[in-house]
Structure 1
């Protein structure tokens, strides 16, 4: 159960990328539905080919993927047109053009979402307070007003505000996180992800690069409240110090550290947080 007092069924994954979370969500209950929204159409196409199309008609008929901007979600265009009419809980609004190739999110009457999420620090891609509040308002408008929740993640700590390079080794590749200089006035940095493949030996520099504004927890709380959320909650855990994990193997580092709901938290070298806004 969640704060709405019932089993959550309807899920929206903003900045969904390859939509893995949405796909996994559908496996756990045959009544569940998922909406994915992302600006990268290549990632959505990969999701269709490698995730959605391999899970069977029952699951794939309950996911809707949209290509568009989270700041203009209603204008986002449907990507997976083949299965859209199989979903009984969704109806199409009146439209002059009934072709599925032209359907936008605003053309559908989706059930109110029980959960909307924005993970992988994606809200850092929004650089201004106006953009952040606008996005939170869109998220709130999609939520069930009887306990629907918005969830996002954020990282921080003293190590997050200067140059940083960390790597994790896996059997077939090494993953490198590189953080450029940190502008303390604009609170902006550039994050680049590199991969060193072992077989064949090949380096993929800047496989992904992001210009981020590193928001603070109070800023996120203020913007969520300004957008209209009833309450905001923080779950935080202390992460291993950056000096201790500049080079690690696999995902074991820090996995035994649990998240706890807090109202106060002392600054650390590194921390990670989940922020929950209640509609």
Structure 2
């Protein structure tokens, strides 16, 4: 009797995450827009914090053939997978990408091609892992010290809204990798309103009844936009700005960088049960 391999074991966990969660073209378009609108600058270097497979870096390097990128993460397995998938088959990309296994709180530039960057990007709300303001501020100060004094930006992807502050499970959303269909489910299992902490999970379910639950888990503290901006200012950024997108059903299959509204004071932005934002710390060129 032949026992078939369950569908959940046929696809890389990292590939499923990329298909279900990441939109690197949106992030790179946002990076380009922010650099242009804030500093009239074309980015030449990117440090992708909490990079995982470096999917955003790969998309960035494809768009900027003379740029370099560094991916910083503690998960060596995800970085090795990303190197194989996104870079090794393209020597032009591979030669301009550096993965470094380091903590974003204490990075060393010895293994990096440059010690100052045009852009430092922290995507997928990963900095929510810092639960104490002292750690958040340390991270921001470290980022500030690694940004180019000729003009640069620190961009953090943030989410929030009432829908993030409840115990809930989203409706399954269909995805596909290498011919294998699966459902992505976002599940919030606990929220503490006193500490503003959330425990959440990503589950993957397959047509044959197999599943990975949880595939990924997150133990976060939500930081509000004002808290982030105040910490950025304390860390030494020249100014801060917010690019805001209220989430509606019509955006679910087509959210783009153009849906984000630039604001410094919040006036005129739409309110919604859930929202996304890029909170930006700007380093103005040194006179």
Change (3 A) 1:252 1:6: closer
Question: What is aligned with 2:236?
Answer: 228
| 2:71 is the alignment partner of 1:30 | no
| 2:118 is the alignment partner of 1:114 | yes
| 2:93 is the alignment partner of 1:59 | yes
Change (3 A) 1:107 1:176: closer
Change (3 A) 1:218 1:195: same
Unaligned residue ranges in structure 1 (runs of 5+): 75-104
* Higher relative contact order (CA closer than 8 Å, sequence separation 6+): 2
RMSD: 2.2
| 1:105-160 C-alpha deviation (Å, 9 max, x unpaired) | 33556152111000001111111101111111111111111220011111111111
State how many pairs are aligned: 240
| Counterpart selection for 1:207 from 194, 207, 215 | 215
Question: What is aligned with 2:245?
Answer: 237
Secondary structure of the residue aligned to 2:191 is coil
Change (3 A) 1:168 1:257: farther
Shift, 1:256, TM fit: 10
Secondary structure of the residue aligned to 1:180 is strand
Secondary structure of the residue aligned to 1:146 is coil
Question: What is aligned with 2:204?
Answer: 195
Secondary structure of the residue aligned to 1:36 is strand
Question: What is aligned with 2:260?
Answer: 259
Larger relative helix fraction: 2
Change (3 A) 1:159 1:251: closer
| 2:21 is the alignment partner of 1:20 | no
8 Å Cα contact 1:235-1:261 kept in structure 2: yes
- What TM-score does the superposition give when structure 2 sets the normalisation length? 0.78
| Counterpart selection for 2:145 from 128, 141, 153 | 141
CA distance in 2, matches of 1:42, 1:256: 30
| 2:151 is the alignment partner of 1:151 | no
CA distance in 1, matches of 2:221, 2:78: 23
Shift, 1:5, TM fit: 3.5
CA distance in 2, matches of 1:139, 1:205: 34
Question: What is aligned with 1:268?
Answer: 272
